[in-house]
Chain A
Amino acid sequence: MNQTIVRKSKWFWPWQDEQEEAWLEEMSHQGLHLHKADILAQYDFVQDQPEDYIYRLDFQNSLKKKNKDAYLRLFADAGWEYLGEMGGWQYFRILSKPGETREIFTDPETKIDKYQRFLTWFVAIFPAYWVIIISLLSDNPHWLMWLVIVLSLTVSTLWAVVTIKVQQRIKQLKAL
């Protein structure tokens, strides 16, 4: 039987991962099941019968191979199907079952850790970014310099917004 693959472009912000999960669940209700997550902002879906899948996202981008294996084994043992990784986001799904808890994070503390892992990495890349910008500025023609300045200001603003938004999400969870 031939499988129909439907490709969709979609972007989500790191503080909106739960909305992303809900959206993937809605797609599965329509018979479009995430096939693999690997290319940034793009999903491949397989068209089939509608299913009551639950999708969950974790953030892990610094696991060594050996730890990643053990990590995936733990999720597999608990019944989670692994759908791949996209920019550090790990995609899992499981069929919903009445009366069963279907969560990968079952307390606020470890849920906060997920966003904290994202922030630690995200805060660390910023100085690296500026090192590149400054090295570009030091030996380039005038017009390019302005372009680089405008671009870097935009990126910096975006960076600040993401950091603040994710911090707000952590604060929300801490209030639980």
Chain B
Amino acid sequence: MADKNDPSKYLPLSETTFYTMTCLAQEPLHGYALMQRAKDISQGAVQIGAGTLYTIFSTLEKVGLIKMISESERRKTYALTPKGKKVLLLQIQRIKIMAFAGQNVIALLEE
């Protein structure tokens, strides 16, 4: 049996989940603010739909990677949990390795 607390079992995160968690790593946000932030930091590449974000919030909350910290006017504000931080950190390290591996073949691909 894998360690229940092993953060690698949540990897790889989907692109949308990755941006959701990265936005929350900056500061706690509610849904609509997060949609705008994600579009911003992904340089317009990732636009998150309302249905998608609601599903991701529910899933991440259920597994304890994020938690709701406040609610006002029916808007729920979420923050990363310590477990969520560990998972995101591990994902970022893996992406760095991926990017490095990719970087090394760019010249070959462009030949």
Provide the main secondary structure of the chain A interface: helix
| Interface residues in B, total, Cβ within 8 A | 23
Closest to A101 in B: B47
Which residues of chain A have C-beta atoms less than 8 A from B50's C-beta?
74-75, 77-78, 80, 104
A107 touches B16 (CB 8 A): yes
- Interface size class of chain A, counting residues whose CB lies under 8 Å from the partner chain: 20 to 34
Complex interface bits, B70-92 against A, C-beta within 8 A gives 1, otherwise 0:
01011110000000000000000
By CB atoms of chain A within 10 A, which of B31, B47, B74, B75 has the most?
B74
Stretch at the interface among B51-59, B93-101, B102-110: B51-59
Task: Give, as a whole number of angstroms, the nearest-CB distance from A74 to chain B.
Answer: 4
Stretch at the interface among A3-11, A25-33, A65-73, A148-156: A65-73
Closest to A77 in B: B32
Closest to A116 in B: B55
Task: Give, as a whole number of angstroms, the nearest-CB distance from A164 to chain B.
Answer: 24
- Tell me, in angstroms, the Cα distance from A75 to B59 when the chains sit together: 18
A110 touches B76 (CB 8 A): no
B14 touches A114 (CB 8 A): no
Is A18 in contact with chain B by the CB < 8 A criterion? Answer: no
Instruction: Report the tally of A-B residue pairs with Cβ distances under 8 A.
Output: 64
With known contacts A70-B71, A70-B76, A73-B74, A110–B31 Cβ distance under 8 A: no
A73 touches B49 (CB 8 A): no
By CB atoms of chain A within 10 A, which of B31, B32, B52, B75 has the most?
B52
A110 touches B75 (CB 8 A): no
Which residues of chain B have C-beta atoms less than 8 A from A72's C-beta?
74
- Tell me, in angstroms, the Cα distance from A77 to B48 when the chains sit together: 13
Residues of B12-63 whose CB lies within 8 A of A: 14-16, 31-32, 35, 46-56, 59
Given A74-B31, A106-B52, A109-B14, 9 further pairs, Cβ under 8 A:
A73-B74, A74-B50, A74-B53, A75-B51, A77-B50, A101-B47, A101-B49, A104-B50, A107-B14
- Give the 5 A-B CB pairs with smallest separation, nearest first: A104-B51, A77-B32, A106-B49, A73-B74, A110-B55
